[in-house]
Structure 1
Amino acid sequence: MGVALFTLGGTISMAGHTQGAEAVVRLNGADLAAAVPGLTRLGMPLDIHDIEAVPSANLTFAHILALVDSASQAVKAGACGVVVTQGTDTLEETAFLIDLVWPHTEPFVLTGAMRNPTLAGPDGPANLLAAARTAASPASHGLGALVVFNDEIHAARWVRKTHSTSTATFASPNAGPIGHVIEGRARVLMAPARHRVPYPRPEALGKTRVALHTVTFDEDAEIVAAIAEECHGLIIAGFGVGHVPGKLADLLGTLAERMPVVLTSRTGGGSVLRHTYGAIGSEADLQRRGLINGGLLDPYKARILLRLLLAGGADREAVIAAFADHG
Structure 2
Amino acid sequence: MERPSAIEAHGLAKSYGDVRVLRGIDLAIAPGTVFALLGPNGAGKTTTVRILATLLAADAGEARIAGRDIVAERSAVRRTISLTGQYAALDQELTGAENLRMMARLAGLSRAAARTRADELLARFRLTDAGHRRVGTYSGGMRRRLDLAASLVGEPAVVFLDEPTTGLDPRSRQEVWELVAGLADSGVTVLLTTQYLEEADRLADRIALMDGGLIVAEGTAAELKRRVADERLDLTLAGPEAYGTAERLLGDLVVRRDPDGLRLGVSTSGRADHVRELLDAVDPERRLVTRFAVHGTTLDDVFMALTGSPHHDVREEPAHV
TM-score, length-scaled by structure 2: 0.32
Structure of larger gyration radius:
2
TM-score, length-scaled by structure 1: 0.31
Q: Which has the higher strand share?
A: 2
Q: Relative contact order (alpha carbons < 8 A, sep ≥ 6): 1 or 2 greater?
A: 2
